[in-house]
Chain A
């Protein structure tokens, strides 16, 4: 029964992707890509990947749609130009599809327990996590502790993206920023009563839920990335409803930049603390009395660092797009 549901969702996914390709109006393409991300989240959940489903829904269907709409507001709305079908790309693409489909016949079937991917490291992780780290969510344990080095690298990728967007899109002049705060367009949706009232009701709960997801990442699906996306979605909602000026008073630009840098600093600091206390870099076992308590403390601090940086970066990127619009 679940398989049937999965097959239905996958077919819907292909139809949505073809719809995105054929949409002439870019607004339609962006909305369809939001629906695409939501369907991907549902498929991930059916395939037992709860953490990934939460991240895809928060990041893909939430924040990515807002960022693309922000970019659309600053550029063209419609795909202009003749729709020429060039035959060389179509031929290449069809040939490659057929080759990939031919290659998939060698793969183990979906859900096969004797597939090679389930044999080597994964059973070790599933057995050793209760003994070494004692955290119920194995995905968080692997992400923050066993493969913490990868997560550090990813944190720096997000950090770099935030800095890159700041380089490209910041208003250089000071009085441009001040006039922005007073301009009429910084009103947001203040004269729309119903979304404003409901938004005011809902934003505190969104942020509260984001904090819950952050600290509960050890016991259920959750963690730093999802929490960062959720909290930044809450603040983006506030910025859309109350206007850019008000939102920049609630989360000033200095706070956001401090969060971006502070999160990365926290992560590297935990690693260095491990070194200073006598162990290796990112060794959490010596941070507290017993190895397991040390691991818990290390995972908590590291996820907090990730949450800070992701929130700061997503909010900075959103404000960079929104402030640009006010200027042009």
Chain B
């Protein structure tokens, strides 16, 4: 039973790390501000929650797990709000999304 928890927590931690890495690559490589922010914020929230779940499995059922659950709820509330506030601020200060004409080859 210990092994199952261990392996599950390892998988969650690695998955969380992979998601944050993808978010980082997206934040660097995307061409437009809104696309970059989209990449960074979504993957950040998910990656952090997966990492916290992995650590909570390692902690077992104890006070530390309850504290981690509280942090998870807090992050789930505030991280998307921060992304919204960032996008809203960019929109209000006049940064418009790039318009790209879709490539109509073939149709």
Contacts and interface: CB of A to CB of B under 8 A. Distances in A.
Given a CB threshold of 8 Å, the question of whether A touches B is answered with: yes
Interface residues of A, number: 8
A195 B74 CA distance: 14
B77 A198 contact: yes
A199 B77 CA distance: 9
Interface in A200-255: 201-202, 205
Contacts of A107: none
A194 interface: yes
A198 B78 contact: yes
A194 B84 CA distance: 8
Contacts of B84: 194-195
A202 B88 CA distance: 20
A198 B81 contact: yes
Contacts of B78: 198, 202
Contact of A205 (B74, B81, B85): B74
Contacts of A202: 74, 77-78
Contacts of B88: 192
Interface in A258-305: none
A194 B81 CA distance: 7
Interface in B61-91: 74, 77-78, 81, 84-85, 88
Indicate the size class of the contact surface on chain B: under 10
Contacts of A198: 77-78, 81
A46 B18 CA distance: 23
Nearest to B73: A205
B14 to A, nearest CB: 15
Interface string B49-68: 00000000000000000000
A195 B85 contact: yes
B9 to A, nearest CB: 16
A185 to B, nearest CB: 15
A297 to B, nearest CB: 27
Nearest to A197: B81
A50 to B, nearest CB: 14
B74 A192 contact: no
B77 A192 contact: no
B100 to A, nearest CB: 27
A198 B84 CA distance: 11
Nearest to B89: A192
A198 B81 CA distance: 7
Contacts of B81: 194-195, 198-199
A8 B85 CA distance: 30
Interface of A: 192, 194-195, 198-199, 201-202, 205
Given A192-B85, A198-B78, A202-B78, 10 more contacts: A192-B88, A194-B81, A194-B84, A195-B81, A195-B84, A198-B77, A198-B81, A199-B81, A202-B74, A202-B77
User: 7 tightest CB-CB pairs across the interface, nearest first?
Assistant: A198-B81, A194-B84, A195-B85, A198-B77, A195-B81, A194-B81, A192-B88
13 contacts: A192-B85, A194-B81, A194-B84, A195-B81, A195-B84, A195-B85, A198-B77, A198-B81, A199-B81, A201-B77, A202-B74, A202-B77, A202-B78
